[in-house]
Amino acid sequence: MMILGKRNQPSNTGCVGKDYSTIKQAAGPFNYPTDIALDDEQNIYVSDGYGNCRVHVFSKEGEFICSWGEPARRPGQFNLPHGIFVHDRIVYVADRENSRIQLFDTKGEFLNE
């Protein structure tokens, strides 16, 4: 068991409550995380959707590796990343309010949608 982030200390995205439409900027972990996935090396991927617009990656020991995403509709941007899955070194992110699934490599480089 491990804890990532700090309870009741949301990142500063400018979001009001859980209203994703009020996000002003992307920020670090976490605001309102929505899902979690592991890759083959047991790295941890977290979609941070309602109060943020990012994917955060941590090592299996819980050390922060990187984040990607910002609020908008272009490739690599999110409007409520809601689900996440990793398979064969491809990260699938359900970008709920943009009605799409985006694919990234494990470093956050956009591959397809």
CB 79 within 8 A of CB 86: no
Q: What pLDDT sits at residue 19?
A: 82
Q: What is the extent of the structural domain holding 53? A: 32-108
Q: What is the mean pLDDT of the chain?
A: 94
- Examine residue 15 and state whether it is found in any structural domain, yes or no: no
Alpha carbon separation from 92 to 64, 74, 108, 109, 111 (Å, rounded): 20, 16, 11, 12, 10
- Examine residue 92 and state whether it is found in any structural domain, yes or no: yes
CB 78 within 8 A of CB 54: yes
- Examine residue 1 and state whether it is found in any structural domain, yes or no: no
Each residue of 13-34: pLDDT tens digit?
999 877 888 999 999 999 999 9
Tokens at 12, concatenated: 């500063």
Q: What pLDDT sits at residue 112?
A: 98
- Examine residue 2 and state whether it is found in any structural domain, yes or no: no
Q: What pLDDT sits at residue 59?
A: 97
Q: What pLDDT sits at residue 18?
A: 78
- Examine residue 51 and state whether it is found in any structural domain, yes or no: yes
Where residue 60 sits, what CATH number does that domain have? 2.40.10.500
Q: How many structural domains does the chain have?
A: 1
Low-confidence ranges of the chain (pLDDT < 70): none
- Examine residue 83 and state whether it is found in any structural domain, yes or no: yes
Whole-model pTM? 0.94
What does the DSSP 8-state code read for residue 78? B
- Examine residue 70 and state whether it is found in any structural domain, yes or no: yes
